[in-house]
Amino acid sequence: MNTEPNAALADRILSRIKGEGIVPRPRWEFFVKNVAFWALGAFAVALGAFAFSAGLFEVENAGWQFYAATHGDLLTFILEAMPFLWLLALALFILLGYANIRRTKRGYRYPLSLIAFGAVLTSVALGTGLYAAGLGAELEEAVGDHPPFYRPVLVEQHVWWEAPGKGLLGGTVVSLATDTATFVLKDFSGRTWTVSSGGLPPQAITLLARGGTVRVVGVPVVASTSDFDACFIFPWQTFGVAKSGPLPPPIAVISSSSETGMTSVRIQQCKSIGSYRQLRSIEDAGSF
């Protein structure tokens, strides 16, 4: 090939530039394009942070301590409690962030691992802040209401704890008998239960006396009855909400003639609960 400079080429190019009226595109176009890619990249990472905060809210409120009671084994619990939707959203937004940053003026110089690590770190740090500010809860509940395949974590919890057949009940304490042997609980569907609480440890009675929402693990109900025998009482805490909810309504104090202690039959029934030992250790540690 002839590699000598071809004088005619420069002439041909210049005459085409002049003939077709070609002018350099203005500098601001490139500036705007570059800024737009950075902005889109940052926006995607910010969306990733929101996804992370919602996922964190879901994980924090999944009720990990009680997996033995609700699911029996950890693997089944993890499969149900993992925030797959939010993890997927986080991954997609990070990819989107990478794709945009990669298209900025010098974005190609950064390796995928560096951008991905930076994007994950930013999303996680920002997402943790958003979670602490309560935005994770807002987003999780707002978005969670819409996709048909997804239930917000708190709704999911209500479903898991509205299973008297499995010995699980959740709801608001309505009243407590003067001798603390029974209390009345309204579950999340509005159904009222008379729960035997005789013989429960003092911290459980304190929880009941304080009112509000509680988790009750008891003897599984076999017939259609509104009576329930409690073995454990745990508070119903919601993590990652900006404002603490209203104070629980004052509970009524009612008289009772029930057995105040726990009968030996009930003690045996409680001990036969599959998750008895795990729940006992949670109760003993007071780690709720």
The answer to whether the beta carbons of residues 269 and 229 sit under 8 Å apart is yes
19 lines the binding site for another protein (CB under 8 A): no
190 lines the binding site for another protein (CB under 8 A): no
Residue selected from 19, 25, 165, 189 as contacting another protein according to rule CB under 8 A: 25
- Which of the ranges 23-31, 51-59, 129-137, 269-277 carries the binding residues for another protein, by CB under 8 A? 23-31
146 lines the binding site for another protein (CB under 8 A): no
Residue 121 Cβ vs another protein, minimum distance, rounded to whole Å: 19
29 lines the binding site for another protein (CB under 8 A): yes
38 lines the binding site for another protein (CB under 8 A): no
27 lines the binding site for another protein (CB under 8 A): yes
The answer to whether the beta carbons of residues 196 and 178 sit under 8 Å apart is no
Residue 30 Cβ vs another protein, minimum distance, rounded to whole Å: 4
Residue 246 Cβ vs another protein, minimum distance, rounded to whole Å: 55
Instruction: Report the SS3 class of residue 107.
Output: helix
Residue 13 Cβ vs another protein, minimum distance, rounded to whole Å: 5
Single-letter amino acid, residue 82? M
Measured over the CA atoms of residue 205, residue 210, residue 216 and residue 222, the dihedral's sign is positive
32 lines the binding site for another protein (CB under 8 A): no
Residue 153 Cβ vs another protein, minimum distance, rounded to whole Å: 40
What does 5-60 look like in DSSP terms, one character per residue? --HHHHHHHHHHHHHTT--PPPHHHHHHHHHHHHHHHHHHHHHHHHHHHHHHHHHH
Would you say how long the chain is, in residues?
288
Residue 28 Cβ vs another protein, minimum distance, rounded to whole Å: 9
Q: Which residues pair with 38 in a beta bridge?
A: none
30 lines the binding site for another protein (CB under 8 A): yes
Q: Is 144 exposed, middle or buried (0-12, 13-18, 19+ CB in 10 A)?
A: buried
Q: Which residues pair with 173 in a beta bridge?
A: 185, 212
x/- mask, another protein, residues 95-114, rule CB under 8 A, reads ----------xx-xxxx---
267 lines the binding site for another protein (CB under 8 A): no
Residue among 164, 266, 160, 159 at smallest CA distance from 221: 164
Q: Return residues touching another protein (CB under 8 A).
A: 1, 3-7, 9-14, 16-18, 22-27, 29-30, 105-106, 108-111
